[in-house]
């Protein structure tokens, strides 16, 4: 199932894919649109969704 671009799960997956550090956040209006919501302002459920996206992403960007 495709997650909405900018959702916590989408951002977790993208961070892992691009080998960025773990850092829960999301964009309610879509990726890089509007305000970025950071971990301290996220619910436990949203952090869990980010973490799920992070943990389930098995592909990695090949920077070679």
Mean pLDDT by 10 residues, the chain (64 residues): 84 97 97 96 98 96 91
Q: What is the distance between the terminal CA atoms of the chain, rounded to a whole angstrom?
A: 29
pLDDT of residue 63: 87
pLDDT of residue 2: 56
**Orientation of helix 8-17 relative to helix 44-56, angle to 10°:** 30
Rounded to two decimals, the pTM is 0.92
Using CA atoms, how far apart are residues 30 and 19, in angstroms rounded to an integer?
A: 21
The single-letter DSSP state of residue 60 is: -
pLDDT of residue 41: 98
3-state secondary structure of 56: helix
């Amino acid at each position: 199932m495709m997650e909405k671009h900018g959702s916590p799960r989408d951002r977790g997956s993208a961070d892992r894919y691009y080998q960025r550090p773990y850092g829960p956040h999301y964009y309610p209006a879509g990726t890089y649109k509007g305000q970025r919501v950071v971990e301290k302002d996220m619910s436990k459920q949203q952090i869990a969704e980010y973490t799920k996206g992070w943990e389930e992403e098995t592909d990695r960007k090949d920077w070679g």
